[in-house]
Amino acid sequence: MSKNESQEMIITIAKLFEDSIGKFRGEMKKEFDNVRGEMKKEFDNVRGEMREEFKNVRSEMKEEFTSVRKEMNESFIGVNERFDTIEEKLDDLAEDTDLLREENWQNKKDIQKIKNRIGVR
């Protein structure tokens, strides 16, 4: 084999190798694009499922919050009624205390008058 033939053979092998690498790159690009497409579809599906789940959870939480708010309002209605009753009782107690104070003062004055009349000091 001559030097020219060897060089031509090396060039031919290099071209075949270059063609093989090009085909391999093309196949890898196709495979990569396919995988990327599948991943995008899967991601879109998961995102859709998550969005749907989020809507469901948000709806459930909204219902729970509404229920709790209703229960609290009902509880506060009872508390407010009891508070009003307690306020009324405190007002009555304050009036009774004022009356008792006036009666006590009047009794002290009467006792002092009696003591003065009978001469007890």
pLDDT at residue 31 in the model? 93
All residues at 6 or more sequence positions from 9 whose CB lies less than 8 Å from its CB, including other chains: 1
Amino acid 83: pLDDT:
80
Write the pLDDT tens digit of every residue in 34-80.
999 999 999 999 999 999 999 999 999 999 999 999 888 887 777 77
pTM above 0.85, yes or no: no
DSSP string, 7-19: HHHHHHHHHHHHH
How much of the chain, in percent, has pLDDT values that exceed 90?
50
Q: 121 pLDDT exceeds 70? A: no
